[in-house]
């Protein structure tokens, strides 16, 4: 029987992933875990276990006790936060991954999902329609950890036959739970401010285009990748995935279609340099070919849903 453990279930992706995995496979097949004492509000009626992914023994015990088969490892420090705590970011992002990969190597679990990011790319990478295989010289702590992690995933697959699958997520846009510590977070914050105050100050410059994706697409991609036949998975580092690409200015224009008086100004901070080092759009042909990936949300659809659904009390 399938038994899924989601590590980092309190985060932006984890919360929605637990909900969707429960829909698909039944609540009894999913265990949510995070480092916090209490389960996130949205997961109140789901099984929740407090877990620090760096506690290898605790993780092993849980996996054995619950007969876990699949792990989705989402606990990590994101790009902006990692710049302020480089050593800890490296430890969490890498040792957490090793703890999970080792469980698969020891055949205690069957399958691993681990998220990579557009942050694996750097200033020397071709910026537009960045290909699956290209120059990768990341300049952030987060990007370095994701790049190394991708190589370790491929290594564990090639050397030990570990079934680990991965996606290079773009910036993710969602309303159920807040993002924490990323460079692309502006594209979520802006909706809360638009709805509550009718204006927003962007920490990225107006013309900085970044690859983004609506969460529903990202969750569907994640589960489709994990459920695809093993023989379809040809990339064991991580798959490029593309949703939409836009600049803060273009996003503001799209919001103005709904809130004509919406005002935006720009006060770029240290996150601008991170954003400037990343691609502006992604070529995901390989994911399309290998496991049939297709996005569903364009910018206008994202903006309509977000303005309708964000609940400003979550942030303010
Ligand atoms: N959204 C992430 C970040 O900004 C990218 O993976 O850090």
Over the chain, what HEC string results?
CCCEEEECCCCHHHHHHHHHHHHHHCHHHEEEEECCCCCCHHHCCCCEEECCCCCHHHHHHHHHHHCCCEEEECCCCCHHHHHHCHHHHHHHHHHHHHHHHHHHHCCCCCEEEEEEEHHHCCCCCCCCCECCCCCCCCCCHHHHHHHHHHHHHHHHHHHHCCEEEEEEECEEECCCCCCCCCHHHHHHHHHHHHHHHCEEEECCCCCCCEEEEEHHHHHHHHHHHHHCCHHHCCCCCCEECCCEEECHHHHHHHHHCCCCCCEEEECCCCHHHHHHCCCCCECCHHHHHHHCCCCCCCHHHHHHHHHHHCCHHHCC
For 193, the token pair is: 């401010």
Residue 311: its pLDDT value, please? 96
Catalytic residue among 72, 142, 175, 186: 142
Give the model confidence (pLDDT) of 249-260 as tens digits.
Answer: 999 999 999 999
Q: Is 160 a catalytic residue?
A: no
Ligand 1 atom nearest the C-alpha of 184 is 4
Q: The pTM is what? A: 0.97
Give the model confidence (pLDDT) of 261-307 as tens digits.
Answer: 999 999 999 999 999 999 999 999 999 999 999 999 999 999 999 99
Mean pLDDT (the chain, rounded):
98
Ligand 1 atom nearest the C-alpha of 115 is 6
Nearest-5° Cα angle at 252, 138 to 139: 10
Give the model confidence (pLDDT) of 110-148 as tens digits.
Answer: 999 999 999 999 999 999 999 999 999 999 999 999 999
Sequence ranges of the domains in the chain? 4-167+234-240, 171-212+242-314
Superfamily of 171-212+242-314 according to CATH: NAD(P)-binding Rossmann-like Domain (3.40.50.720)
For ligand 1, mutation pick of 77, 81, 114, 183 (most atoms within 8 Å of CB)? 183
Residues with CB under 6 A from ligand 1: 78-79, 117-119, 142, 169, 171, 182-184
pLDDT at 180 over 90: no
Strand bridging mode 244-246 / 210-214 = antiparallel
117 CA to middle of ligand 1, Å?
7
Ligand 1 atom nearest the C-alpha of 183 is 4
pLDDT at 217 over 90: yes
Phi-psi region of 173 (alpha: psi -120 to 50; beta: other; left: phi over 0): beta
Does CATH number 3.40.50.720 belong to domain 4-167+234-240?
Answer: yes
């Amino acid at each position: 029987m399938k038994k899924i453990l989601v590590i980092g279930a309190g985060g932006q992706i984890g919360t929605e992933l637990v909900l969707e995995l429960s829909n698909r496979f039944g609540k009894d097949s999913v265990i949510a875990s995070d480092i916090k004492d209490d389960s996130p509000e949205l997961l109140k009626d789901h099984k929740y276990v407090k877990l620090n992914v760096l506690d290898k023994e605790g993780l092993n015990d849980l996996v054995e006790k619950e007969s876990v088969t699949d792990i989705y490892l989402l606990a990590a420090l994101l790009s902006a936060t990692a710049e302020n705590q480089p050593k800890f970011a490296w430890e969490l992002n890498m040792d957490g991954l090793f703890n999970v990969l080792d469980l698969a190597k020891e055949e205690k679990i069957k399958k691993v999902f681990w998220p990579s990011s557009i942050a694996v790319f750097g200033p020397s990478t071709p910026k537009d329609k960045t290909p699956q295989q290209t120059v990768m010289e990341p300049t952030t702590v987060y990007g370095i950890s994701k790049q190394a992690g991708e190589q370790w995933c491929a290594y564990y697959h090639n050397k030990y036959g570990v079934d680990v699958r991965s996606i290079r997520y773009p910036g993710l846009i969602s309303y159920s739970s807040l993002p924490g510590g990323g460079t692309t977070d502006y594209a979520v914050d802006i909706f809360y401010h638009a709805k509550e105050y009718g204006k927003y100050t962007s920490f990225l410059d107006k013309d900085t285009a970044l690859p983004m994706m609506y969460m529903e697409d990202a969750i569907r991609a994640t589960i489709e990748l994990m459920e695809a036949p093993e023989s379809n998975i040809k990339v064991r580092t991580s798959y490029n995935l593309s949703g939409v690409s836009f600049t803060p200015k273009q996003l503001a224009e799209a919001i103005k279609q709904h809130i004509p008086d919406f005002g935006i100004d720009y006060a770029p901070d240290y996150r601008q340099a991170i954003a400037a080092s990343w691609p502006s759009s992604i070529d995901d042909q390989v994911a399309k070919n290998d496991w049939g990936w297709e996005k569903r949300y364009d910018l206008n659809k994202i903006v309509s849903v977000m303005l309708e659904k964000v609940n400003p009390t979550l942030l303010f």
